[in-house]
Amino acid sequence: MQLLYTVNSPYARKVRIVAIEKHVDLTLTSVVLSAADCPVSLYNPLGKVPVLVLDDGEALYDSRVIVEYLDHRTPVAHLIPQDPLAKIKVRRWEALADGVCDAAVAVMQEQRKAEPLQSGAWIQKQMEKVIAGLTALDNDLLKKKWCVNETFSLADIALGTTLGYIDLRFKSTQLEGKYWQEKFPSLAKHYGVLIKRPSFKQTMPQP
């Protein structure tokens, strides 16, 4: 199985971490989305990474579909619980964490435009989503060891990859007057635990 990914995509990192945690071997193919010969749109009409190309040539996307597929590939500890209510809770964490990434990615894309073409109002609106999302995640986590049911799961992975992306993009940016680790102490503490895992270490984003 081949994973098409970009090094700093938080969605692709989520998939890579799930594969490592599940001991599923993937052939990793790093792509440049802006390159003329980028293969991604051959497999995903939306032109987005991650894409998982199966051995029979079928392609799976997006990250939420791929992680579910990988979680079923091996019987070792499930990252998505079998119990329906626990599964919904995990996927809700993932939805919110991914949503924070969507807004953060939108900010970066806007800031990459030439300055006269940038919309300050759009950036502000997306930053409000980033802060509201992180606030909700921080409140939900509080002093819990893991996000859902005292067990490491996809919820922790999705949260960790989102925080990795926030750290990559906004490490030296104050969010309403504070750096993210000061503003969201529960998240910062949990991030400190997660980045000690080999799966997180092996997939660190590149500044």
Q: Is residue 98 near ligand GSH by the rule CB under 6 A?
A: yes
**How would DSSP label each residue in 25-71?**
--EEEE--TTSTT--HHHH-TT--S-EEE-TTS-EE-SHHHHHHHHH
Nearest residue to ligand GSH by CB is 62
Smallest distance from ligand GSH to CB 150, Å:
26
Q: What Å distances lie between residue 61 and 25, 40, 44, 49, 70, CA to CA?
A: 18, 11, 7, 8, 12
9/152 Cα distance (integer angstroms)? 22
Among 105, 123, 175, 193, binds ligand GSH (CB under 6 A): 105
Smallest distance from ligand GSH to CB 105, Å:
5
Write each residue from 161 to 180 as x if it is in contact with ligand GSH (CB under 6 A), else as -, in one continuous string.
--------------------
Residue 129 in tokens? 């989503």
Smallest distance from ligand GSH to CB 61, Å:
6
Task: Find all residues with CB under 8 Å of 178, minimum gap 6, and list them.
Answer: none
Alpha-carbon Rg for the chain, nearest whole angstrom, is 17
Q: Is residue 49 near ligand GSH by the rule CB under 6 A?
A: yes
Among 26, 43, 63, 156, binds ligand GSH (CB under 6 A): 63
**H or E element that contains 138:** helix 120-141
103/117 Cα distance (integer angstroms)? 18
Q: Is residue 126 near ligand GSH by the rule CB under 6 A?
A: no
Beta partners for 28?
3
Among 9, 126, 162, 203, binds ligand GSH (CB under 6 A): 9
Q: Is residue 43 near ligand GSH by the rule CB under 6 A?
A: no
Q: Is residue 11 near ligand GSH by the rule CB under 6 A?
A: yes
Binding region for ligand GSH (CB under 6 A): 6, 9, 11, 33, 47-50, 62-64, 98, 105
